[in-house]
Amino acid sequence: MTGRVLVGPDDVRDELWVVGGRITFDRPALPAGQGAAAGEALTVRGWVLPGLVDAHCHVGLDASGAVDEDTAAKQAIADRDAGALLLRDAGSPADTRWVHDRDDLPRLVRAGRHIARTRRYLRNYAEEIEPADLVAEVERQAARGEGWVKLVGDWIDRQLGDLAPCWPDDVVAEAVAAAHAAGARVTAHCFAEDSLPALAAAGIDCVEHATGLTDDTIAAFAERGIAIVPTLVNIATFPKIADGAQAKFPRYAEHMRALHARRHDTIRAAYDAGIPIYVGTDAGGSLPHGLVAAEVAELVTAGLPPLAALGAATWAARAWLGFPGLTEGAPADLVVYPQDPRADVGVLAAPDLIVLRGRVHQA
């Protein structure tokens, strides 16, 4: 592949080769008679990025709960065809371990099932428990997943009529410690402000959405290196959610509108403070899969420099999840674009070519 190969923010190469399904930067010597004309080699020109990352999606889940394998495969293929070749599944009621056996589907990092407070989350999504059972459930989901546990940190409390934390502070601390002891990292769904201080104090690894960050919690997250996955394409639905809740829960509706109104300022402040930010779409609940390019564009709208937004979907996100990018000998997972995505991240919406595990897939 020739053109420009964006290995990292400060590393741009002129050529990359795929041999035996792996990346090399050393031009291979083809035997006589083996070349493009013989059908043994394919030359591609363009701008090459590591396979994109959707660090918050839900393979095996739709608005009603678990889906069958055929539907889940179609979800993963939609991500692949959008260039997302590495997915962190942030909670699914379906057992999707079978995805690992499909060479045509993106690489998947599973978080087990959501852990929620009883009747404090979307129906059919989570293991719903009370605080006394949280530590044991965290240990169970750590064994079920692949290095991640997903908590529901806050949700609407119908008695209060607004968002509220789901777990006592001391129980959160015990649960995060239990996950770490089991070798898993912990992330949490959090829309509002009040659940974040306890999660930060407990040493949580990541927070999803994070619309409730304030100056104090931004400072705490930055100090502790807690990552966020904003899912701004999902946060765009907050006004519609608020409209549906207005008659019954006006306080909650007002809160959701306020979180939405300041979403871009919140994420820009988090970036300026040095909080690690990664791309995630929240696809698989009410949103379709394949939205990774739209989320990168949203991060740029929020004020992230284009190169930082690209990193949040490629080299930085891959390193965070423990996967290589465009490095010598790495599996060939990459995406080719017709123009420079650093100049316009909108290019990500229309890849020319996708290579997953060394196999070419047309976009």
Angle, to 10 degrees, between the axis of helix 292-302 and the axis of helix 263-272?
80
* pLDDT tens-place string over residues 194-222: 999 999 999 999 999 999 999 999 999 99
Task: Give the integer Cα–Cα distance in Å for 80 and 82.
Answer: 5
Query: Are 95 and 132 spatial neighbours (Cβ–Cβ below 8 Å)?
Result: no
Rounded mean pLDDT, 283-289: 95
**Res. 32 pLDDT band, cuts 50 70 90:** low
CA-based nearest residue to 109, from 150, 65, 55, 61:
55
Task: Give the integer Cα–Cα distance in Å for 86 and 356.
Answer: 10
Q: Which residues contact 231 (CB under 8 A, 6 or more apart)?
A: 56, 208, 209, 280, 281, 282, 295
Residue 36 lies in a domain: no
Q: Which residues contact 304 (CB under 8 A, 6 or more apart)?
A: 267, 268, 271, 277, 312
Task: Give the integer Cα–Cα distance in Å for 233 and 295.
Answer: 6
Task: Give the integer Cα–Cα distance in Å for 25 and 66.
Answer: 43
Strand partners, 337: 47
What distances in angstroms separate CA 307 from CA 11, 59, 120, one per listed residue?
12, 28, 38
Task: Give the integer Cα–Cα distance in Å for 258 and 263.
Answer: 9
CA-based nearest residue to 122, from 285, 361, 2, 293:
285
Query: What's 154's domain CATH number?
Result: 3.20.20.140
pLDDT value, residue 3: 73
Residue type, 65: G
* pLDDT tens-place string over residues 99-155: 999 999 999 999 999 999 999 999 999 999 999 999 999 999 999 999 999 999 999
Residue 17 lies in a domain: no
Strand partners, 150: 187
* pLDDT tens-place string over residues 155-197: 999 999 999 999 999 999 999 999 999 999 999 999 999 999 9
Alpha helices (H) along the chain:
69-81, 134-144, 169-181, 196-202, 215-224, 232-235, 238-245, 250-261, 263-272, 292-302, 306-313, 315-321
**Res. 281 pLDDT band, cuts 50 70 90:** very high
pLDDT value, residue 8: 95
Residue 4 lies in a domain: no
Helix, strand, or coil (residue 134): helix
* pLDDT tens-place string over residues 205-264: 999 999 999 999 999 999 999 999 999 999 999 999 999 999 999 999 999 999 999 999
pLDDT value, residue 31: 59
* Domain span at 70: 52-323
The CB density around residue 132, as the number of other CB atoms within 10 Å, is 8
* Ramachandran bin of 244, using left for φ above 0, alpha for ψ from -120 to 50, beta for the remaining angles: alpha
Residue 25 lies in a domain: no
Q: How many domains does the chain have?
A: 1
CA-based nearest residue to 346, from 282, 289, 301, 280:
301
Per DSSP, the chain holds a count of helices (H) and strands (E) of: 12, 21
Mean pLDDT of the chain: 95
Query: Are 2 and 338 spatial neighbours (Cβ–Cβ below 8 Å)?
Result: no
Alpha helices (H) along 82-165:
134-144
Rounded mean pLDDT, 352-359: 96
Percent of the residues in the chain that have a pLDDT greater than 70, as a whole number: 96
DSSP 203: T
Residue 109 lies in a domain: yes
Residue 191 lies in a domain: yes
* pLDDT tens-place string over residues 50-70: 999 999 999 999 999 999 999
Query: Are 106 and 73 spatial neighbours (Cβ–Cβ below 8 Å)?
Result: no
Residue 331 lies in a domain: no
Residue 334 lies in a domain: no
